[in-house]
Amino acid sequence: MSLTDILSPSDIAAALRDCQAPDSFSPKKFFQISGMSKKSSSQLKEIFRILDNDQSGFIEEDELKYFLQRFECGARVLTTSETKTFMAAADHDGDGKIGAEGIDYFNYR
């Protein structure tokens, strides 16, 4: 399964266009534009599984900086500031990684 099985390719493209400039990424806005904010918990968990590059069951900061590239190979890498802000929003227990349940609790829905 790929992200385009869950999200519209045109919505993904629009979300990526919206945050092309460094330090312009907003997780809340990205979730809204891409359509992620309208997905069910089970669909978000499937998206998480796809985004979990090493399939460890967690998304660590090193993986999170490549978040946009998981949607499109040529997308930019998140800046350090964007990555830290994104991690802080989803890492509710402060362990430096996001579990599958974390994607459902971004509070962006």
pLDDT, residue 5, reads 95
- Nearest Cα neighbor of 36 from 22, 23, 50 is 50
Q: Give the Cα separation of 85 and 60 in Å (integer).
A: 13
Residue with tokens 């400039």, as numbered in its chain: 21
Whether residue 34 is annotated as binding a ligand: the answer is: no
Number of compact structural domains in the chain: 1
In a domain, 1, yes or no: no
| Residue 54 annotated as part of some ligand binding site | yes
| Helices H / strands E in the chain, number of each | 6, 2
pLDDT for the residue 102: 64
25-75 pLDDT per residue, tens: 999 999 999 999 999 988 988 998 999 999 999 999 999 999 999 999 999
Q: Does 2 map to a domain?
A: no
Q: What is the span of the domain harbouring residue 14? A: 7-105
Residue at 46 is within a domain? yes
Residue 33 included in any domain: yes
The pLDDT score that the predictor gives to residue 73 is: 93
What are 52's two structure tokens?
A: 């979990």
pLDDT of residue 109: 45
Is 97 marked as binding a ligand?
yes
Q: Is residue 64 part of a domain?
A: yes
Known binding residue 23? Answer is no
Residue 18 located in a structural domain: yes
Q: Is 18 annotated as a binding residue?
A: no
Say how many Å lie between the first and final Cα of the chain, rounded: 23
CB neighbours of residue 4 within 10 Å: 12
